[in-house]
């Protein structure tokens, strides 16, 4: 436990790239970072600060003696292997049985001292929480209704490859093949069943007093996400004051013009809020669009904040 080393699985993914960039900014030395991936990506040299780290096979690696493993993709085989590792296992994919955390606003009295799984809020919820959590100091939310617009990246590389293959087939007048998606995804869109538990998790992360409902729509995009957000507050809301408060949040940019993940969210971790407006004739209701990159968003901040909490834990340093 006292080695001070961090292992990152699926190191060739876009999410890993964004996290590693922030780990370097946080001052974590290259010798304390271990990059792991599937057999086909083993041996690749990935850039980290002013050096390179070679990826290792995550099924062959000895996980003992680490501080934590960042498990960046759902992997049943790897999860089973990590059950026997004496380290923290940090992940973010949805689990209806888990109680996820959003570490940037973690209660001060919550300190992890013994190796255990740490489940972070999903990419969708992390992006949303990066806006809603700081707004809670000024506004009392009664209910939140969301429609998540998801790209193929949320279903992993096989989904991205299938969308690309379907697109090529259709443009070549060939029949598209669907294995990952239940129906054709290219040039199409389909509603996705969102577990009720995800809305309950969001409510819990906001303090438990907010009614939350979530719907999801999968669109034929490779990367990125958007979210239609409908907020009902306990008291009347002035749109200008609400927008002014949004502008004060670090990493948030308001836009009066159309925005999209591919056009605006490719360069950094900025989350765009657009088309903020009053909802109908109700003075206590606001609606807006949130647009973010599916990797460089609140999820990365959640991972980095968790690493910092574990790094600064006196109890862990004494082990």
Q: Rg of the Cα trace of the chain?
A: 20
Question: DSSP 3-state assignment of 154?
Answer: helix
User: What average pLDDT score do residues 171-188 get?
Assistant: 93
pLDDT tier at 264 (50, 70, 90 boundaries)? confident
pLDDT in tens, 300-318: 889 999 998 888 775 555 4
For residue 84, what pLDDT is reported?
82
User: What average pLDDT score do residues 194-222 get?
Assistant: 93
pLDDT tier at 107 (50, 70, 90 boundaries)? low
| Residue 234: C-alpha distances to residues 242, 268, 278 (Å) | 14, 34, 15
Give the percent of the chain with pLDDT over 70.
96
Question: DSSP 3-state assignment of 60?
Answer: coil
Contact 149, 235 (CB under 8 A): no
How far apart are alpha carbons 158 and 180 in whole angstroms?
A: 7
pLDDT in tens, 115-128: 889 999 999 999 99
User: What average pLDDT score do residues 215-225 get?
Assistant: 93
For residue 315, what pLDDT is reported?
53
Q: What mean pLDDT, rounded, does the chain reach? A: 88
pLDDT in tens, 134-158: 998 899 999 999 999 999 988 888 8
Contact 29, 3 (CB under 8 A): no
- What is the widest separation between alpha-carbon atoms in the chain? 64
Contact 71, 45 (CB under 8 A): no
């Amino acid at each position: 436990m006292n080695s001070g080393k961090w292992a990152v699985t699926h190191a060739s993914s876009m999410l890993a790239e964004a996290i590693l960039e922030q780990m370097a900014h946080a001052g974590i030395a290259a010798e304390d970072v271990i990059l792991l991936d599937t057999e086909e990506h083993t041996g690749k040299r990935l850039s980290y600060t002013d050096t390179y780290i070679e990826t290792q096979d995550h099924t062959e690696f000895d996980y003992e003696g680490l501080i934590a493993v960042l498990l960046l993709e759902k992997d049943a085989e790897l999860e089973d292997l990590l059950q026997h590792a004496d380290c923290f296992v940090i992940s973010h994919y949805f689990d209806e049985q888990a109680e996820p955390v959003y570490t940037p606003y973690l209660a001060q009295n919550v300190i992890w001292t013994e190796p255990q799984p740490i489940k972070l809020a999903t990419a969708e919820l992390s992006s949303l929480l990066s806006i809603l959590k700081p707004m809670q100091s000024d506004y009392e939310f009664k209910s939140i209704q969301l429609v998540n617009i998801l790209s193929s990246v949320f279903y992993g590389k096989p989904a991205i490859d299938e969308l690309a293959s379907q697109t090529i087939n259709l443009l070549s007048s060939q029949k598209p093949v669907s294995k990952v998606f239940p129906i054709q995804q290219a040039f199409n869109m389909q509603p996705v069943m969102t577990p009720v538990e995800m809305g309950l998790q969001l409510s819990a992360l906001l303090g438990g007093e907010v009614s939350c409902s979530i719907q999801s729509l999968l669109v034929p995009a490779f990367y990125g996400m958007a979210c239609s957000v409908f907020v009902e507050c306990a008291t009347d809301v002035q749109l200008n004051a609400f927008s002014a408060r949004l502008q004060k949040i670090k990493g948030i940019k308001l836009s009066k013009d159309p925005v999209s993940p591919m056009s605006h969210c490719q360069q950094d971790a900025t989350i765009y809020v657009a088309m903020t407006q009053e909802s109908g004739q109700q003075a206590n209701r606001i609606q807006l669009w949130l647009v973010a990159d599916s990797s460089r968003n609140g999820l990365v901040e959640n991972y980095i904040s968790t690493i910092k909490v574990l790094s600064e834990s006196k109890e862990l340093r004494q082990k």
